[in-house]
Amino acid sequence: MATGSPELDAMVQRLAGTSDPKRRYEYVLWLAKGLAPLPDDFRQDAFKVKGCVSQVYVVGQLSEGRLHWQGDSDAAITKGLLALLIKGLEGLTPQQAAAVDPAFIAQTGLQASLTPSRANGFINIFRSMQAQAQALAGEQPGDF
């Protein structure tokens, strides 16, 4: 199943291609290391993901009709899940991001090895990003 994001499709395929939960975790932790530091200005309630046990911030910005994401988390695995979503939704239009079906999460195989609260947090981060994309689309009707 294609998500509409070639980058996200590639990561889902990579995760789905291994049956070893440890290797999946290693990949997620590797993604976390590649996440750029989040400026302190964005560490505020407006950008905090609700429904996550750990502290998670994600910020979407629209430039020339394309989404650009930043974020951070105080938990390594959650930061990796956030990095996966940031990398996967980077550069999409708000409409493309809103159209991504959350079914891709199950295809990664990650849910089987995540705690229920972390799996729920992963979905909450994704939904928060989609909500921001829709809000940004509403603010910029002439951009696309």
Which sequence positions are flagged as catalytic?
52
111: its two tokens? 């849910």
In terms of Cα–Cα distance, which of 129, 43, 132, 137 is closest to 82? 129
CA distance 101 to 135: 18
CA distance 52 to 43: 15
